[in-house]
A and B are shown apart, each in its own frame.
Chain A
Amino acid sequence: MASSAGARSPKRRRKPITVGRVLRTVFVYAGMVVALLVILGPFAWLLISSVADKADLLARPLSWIPAHISFQRFVDLTIGGSPGDTQAQEFRSALMNSLVIASMTTLVGMTVGTVAAYAFSRFHFPGRGWMILAFMATTMLPPIALLLPLYQIMNTLGLSDTPLALIIIYSSFVTPYVVWLMRGYLDTIPRDLDDAARVDGCSRLGALWRVILPVSRPGLLSTALLAFLLAWDEFLYALVITQTNASRTLPVALNDFIGRYGTDFGRLATGGVIAAIPPLIIAFVFQRYIVAGLTAGSVKG
């Protein structure tokens, strides 16, 4: 087969069909099928578990396709559920908390971080290089090192078990990412725009707000979506800071479910599917922006 590759004429366009090429095609498609099975299989089972009968899930041998499908668990956990169903109430408040905390974190992180990114991108000042490095260094710190003092500080301030505590903490780890991503994005926008705005009488903040931000929409969107995903996913701080429905987020609530209702796999799967819906919507609807943000964030590193 090596000889066939070597003997191939330099004239390209339509390549002759050879054994090597056929094998290669078969190999590629087989690889794709395997990759899709591995990617989709586990998640498909989570989806099936969320709508299958409990009896089907506990059967041996396991029947993979449930005989009967019901969305009752989704209804119970979100809008319905009997009044005595404390688990559903916990789940609903956790869903709300997660939405509020992740959105507010994104808002705070984007505001504070974009303004700082603008300074890093446009101004020259002493200590600029090491300040960027210092911001990035904070993202490397293991949360476990800050956990104890933050826990005590939040207790002292009377903020333990409040959404505000988590918004403050999450903003601190979202901000450096925003600074990093937005600085990279703003660097690609010509400075002439700032100058034109300044000539037209804008203040520096005005130039950023009226001229630079509107043309930075793709970068802002990528960054904001990644910030939201980061906040939505956080577990360790939430585990320590939250105690009740007042602030408990979805990751902690679901973790509690495992402990207390560990055998109700169907319900657990349903909770998992619901918790996955916002990130999955973001990832699939805004895929281009997410991938752009991911690659920009790392390649520039």
Chain B
Amino acid sequence: MTAGTLGRFSVKRSKPWPETWVAAAFLAPAALVIFLVVVVPLVRAAWMSLFAIELTNPGVEPFVGLGNYITQLTSGAFWDSISKSLFFTIVTTALELSLGVGLAMLMDQPMRLRWVLRSLVILPWALPTIVNALMWRWIDQGSYGSLNALLTQLGFIHDYVPWLSQDTTAMWMVIIADVWKMTPFCAILILAGLQGIDRELFEAARVDGAGSSDVFRRIILPLLTPIILIVLVLRTMEAFKVFDIIWIMTGGGPASSTQTVAIYAYRTAYQSYDFGQGAALGYIIAIAIMLLAAIYLWMLRRTGSTES
């Protein structure tokens, strides 16, 4: 647009208020909300984490410095929850990404009734987490669940299995529920990336004698790398914080077999009523996630898929 330069000129000319002040006024409401609901609590949490605040022991709140952090970082339960979180994060992200690429490729194929799949694929993602969790809880139920019914009727198992209340299977059931819900989200984003690829490239490669798998590995995957990286970032950070789906399906149990670090922090704060330790745990998780974000930002910068 040729008027672009003219536009900038006219903004500069009419200057009843310096632009910085106008910007400050426009940003003030949002900044205030963030300040009051994020910054203030964050500072308060930092303060709380330096004291031994136990609701079972009211009135006594001695200053312990970094004691709460040291207690947690040297506790077996904490590291056990970290390993549960890492397991959940790595497995769900790997499955959601690979199935997401497959589903996106499928939705990209020219075929009749493709629109049916493309419009229904959003269903799992749109289902609220609570509904997804209670749905899978019911499916995985030990005495009447439909998973047991299906597997016995197909002859895969003989006796009903209490999927969610045995420690060997509970985590996998939670992972299945999460993968079912979030794979479509990944597929929708990856499909958008696929549609941005110039089709001429495929045809040119075909003409040059490339087979389907060559086209996929040498052309499609490299071109999809930026969007796959972004989805990877979004999913790992979400998965590491996971609370709701696990809390609703298993409550972190049986024993501590699905107790991820967020569940562990919640139990410490609201079941053991140890607010000092709970606040310290919250901080440890926040710092871990910020570190992860910094690493990802650095990686994305290096691959050049961000613009800002």
Q: Report which A residues bind B (CB closer than 8 A).
A: 2, 5-6, 8, 10, 12, 24-25, 28-29, 31-32, 35-36, 38-40, 42-43, 45-46, 49, 57-58, 60-62, 64, 108, 111-113, 115-116, 118-120, 123-126, 128-129, 131-132, 134-135, 137-138, 140-150, 152-153, 168-169, 171-172, 175-176, 179, 190-192, 194-195, 198-199, 204, 229, 232-233, 235-236, 239-240, 250-251, 254-255, 258, 265, 268-269, 272-273, 275-276, 279-280, 282-284, 287, 290-291, 294-295, 298-301
Contacts and interface: CB of A to CB of B under 8 A. Distances in A.
A5 B208 CA distance: 10
B244 A235 contact: yes
A91 to B, nearest CB: 13
A207 to B, nearest CB: 11
Nearest to B290: A140
A147 B269 contact: yes
14 contacts: A31-B106, A57-B144, A60-B144, A61-B153, A62-B146, A123-B26, A129-B308, A145-B286, A275-B128, A276-B131, A287-B122, A295-B188, A299-B230, A301-B234
Given A191-B4, A258-B248, A147 B282 contact: yes
Given A275-B128, A283-B126, A294-B189, A240 B270 contact: yes
Task: Rank and list the top 3 A-B pairs by shortest CB-CB distance, nearest first.
Answer: A283-B126, A145-B282, A172-B37
B306 to A, nearest CB: 7
Given A45-B146, A46-B138, A125-B24, A283 B122 contact: yes
A198 B17 CA distance: 14
Contact of A141 (B7, B26, B38, B116): B38
Given A168-B37, A283-B125, 14 more contacts: A32-B111, A32-B113, A62-B146, A64-B149, A123-B23, A128-B23, A134-B34, A147-B282, A168-B36, A179-B30, A204-B22, A265-B138, A291-B188, A298-B227
Interface string B190-205: 0011000000000100
B211 A153 contact: no
Contact of A8 (B23, B123, B188, B206): B206
A174 B1 CA distance: 34
B129 interface: yes
A111 B135 CA distance: 35
A232 B241 contact: no
A115 B26 contact: yes
Contacts of B269: 147-148
Which of B111, B135, B270 has its CB near the most chain A CB atoms (within 10 A)?
B135
Given A5-B211, A125-B19, A250-B130, A145 B7 contact: no
Nearest to B9: A195
Contacts of B109: 28
A90 B290 CA distance: 39
Contact of B37 (A38, A62, A137, A171): A171
Contact of B38 (A60, A138, A275, A294): A138
B197 to A, nearest CB: 14
B128 A258 contact: no
Interface in B21-69: 22-24, 26-27, 29-31, 33-34, 36-38, 40-42, 44-45, 48
Interface of B: 1, 3-4, 6-8, 10-11, 14, 19-20, 22-24, 26-27, 29-31, 33-34, 36-38, 40-42, 44-45, 48, 102-103, 106, 109, 111, 113-114, 116-117, 119-131, 134-139, 141, 144, 146, 149, 152-153, 180, 184-185, 188-189, 192-193, 203, 206-207, 209, 211-212, 227, 230-231, 233-234, 237, 240-241, 243-244, 247-248, 262, 265-266, 269-270, 275, 278-279, 281-283, 285-286, 289-290, 293, 306-308
Given A42-B136, A142-B262, A195-B11, A280 B126 contact: yes
Contact of A148 (B45, B111, B231): B45
Nearest to B10: A195
A272 B111 contact: no
Contacts of B188: 291, 294-295
A135 B34 contact: yes
A150 B128 contact: no
A175 B207 CA distance: 50
A144 B262 contact: yes
Which of B4, B184, B243, B306 has its CB near the most chain A CB atoms (within 10 A)?
B243
A90 B248 CA distance: 18
Contact of B144 (A129, A265, A290): A265
